[in-house]
């Protein structure tokens, strides 16, 4: 397993996230030695669709990609829909691409990347209902367990979490990806 000691990973979510798509990658990256930070446009705590409560560490308005080595975007329809309407969250996500840093996205989290304008020309997967949205934004959508495209790791559903977590850790361990772009 890749050792991520000294790596700092931001998780961006709000109420309605898919619980396992936050908790499983969080446990995976911290288990590999990274520190994890919860960023959200909502202050204090956020609650997943199945009841997991997560303390917010940094408001999205105050968060800077400069402080992190990677970003993870959990899914959940309500979560992703609210985040794609929040300018601070969109700018925060886009900055990781501008800085060539690894990004992991699962399920409906890809909506945020569409709003950030970073999927054009990229190969990505997501929950199947986003396929048309992603294609319309210029992405090559594929139905695979996990897809890695120059530091962008994507998966479809909680069933894909083992493969997703492995690839997220691998890409964070590799560091900057020059082909990762906004």
Return d(Cα 152, Cα 156) in angstroms, integer: 14
Structural domains of the chain, count: 1
> What's the N-to-C CA distance of the chain in angstroms?
29
Share above pLDDT 70 across residues of the chain, in percent, rounded to a whole number: 99
CATH number, residue 169: 3.40.50.880
Q: Which residue has the tokens 């695979």?
A: 144
Condensed to tens digits (0 to 9), the pLDDT of residues 128-164 reads 999 999 999 999 999 999 999 999 999 999 999 999 9
Query: Residue 178 pLDDT more than 90?
Result: no
The candidate with the shortest Cα–Cα distance to 182, out of 127, 106, 115, 87, is: 115
Please indicate, yes or no, if residue 75 is contained in any of the structural domains: yes
Please indicate, yes or no, if residue 1 is contained in any of the structural domains: no
DSSP lists the bridge partners of residue 48 as none
Identify the three-state secondary structure at position 134. Answer: helix
pTM of this structure: 0.97
pLDDT of 38? 98
Please indicate, yes or no, if residue 131 is contained in any of the structural domains: yes
Q: Which residue has the tokens 């204090």?
A: 44
Catalytic residue among 107, 150, 177, 181: 107
Task: Examine the residue annotation and report whether 107 is marked as an active-site residue of this protein.
Answer: yes
Please indicate, yes or no, if residue 180 is contained in any of the structural domains: no
Condensed to tens digits (0 to 9), the pLDDT of residues 31-76 reads 999 999 999 999 999 999 999 999 999 999 999 999 999 999 999 9
Catalytic residue among 52, 82, 100, 108: 108
Please indicate, yes or no, if residue 3 is contained in any of the structural domains: no
Please indicate, yes or no, if residue 182 is contained in any of the structural domains: no
Please indicate, yes or no, if residue 58 is contained in any of the structural domains: yes
pLDDT of 169? 97
Domain extent at residue 49 = 8-174
Please indicate, yes or no, if residue 2 is contained in any of the structural domains: no
């Amino acid at each position: 397993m890749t050792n991520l000691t000294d790596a700092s990973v931001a998780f961006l979510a709000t109420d309605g996230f898919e619980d396992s798509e936050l908790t499983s990658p969080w446990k995976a990256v911290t288990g590999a030695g990274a520190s994890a930070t919860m960023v959200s446009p909502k202050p204090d705590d956020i609650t997943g669709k199945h009841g997991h409560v997560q303390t917010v560490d940094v408001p999205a308005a105050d968060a800077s990609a400069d402080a992190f080595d990677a970003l993870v975007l959990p899914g959940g329809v309500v979560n992703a829909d609210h985040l794609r309407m929040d300018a601070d969250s969109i700018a925060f996500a886009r900055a990781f691409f501008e800085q060539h840093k690894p990004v992991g996205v699962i399920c409906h989290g890809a909506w945020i990347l569409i709003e950030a304008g970073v999927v054009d020309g990229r190969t990505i997967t997501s929950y199947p209902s986003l396929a048309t949205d992603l294609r319309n934004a210029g992405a090559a959508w594929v139905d695979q367990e996990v897809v890695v495209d120059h530091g962008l790791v994507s998966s479809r559903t909680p069933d894909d979490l083992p493969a997703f977590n492995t690839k997220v850790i691998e890409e964070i361990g590799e560091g900057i990806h020059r082909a990762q772009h906004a």
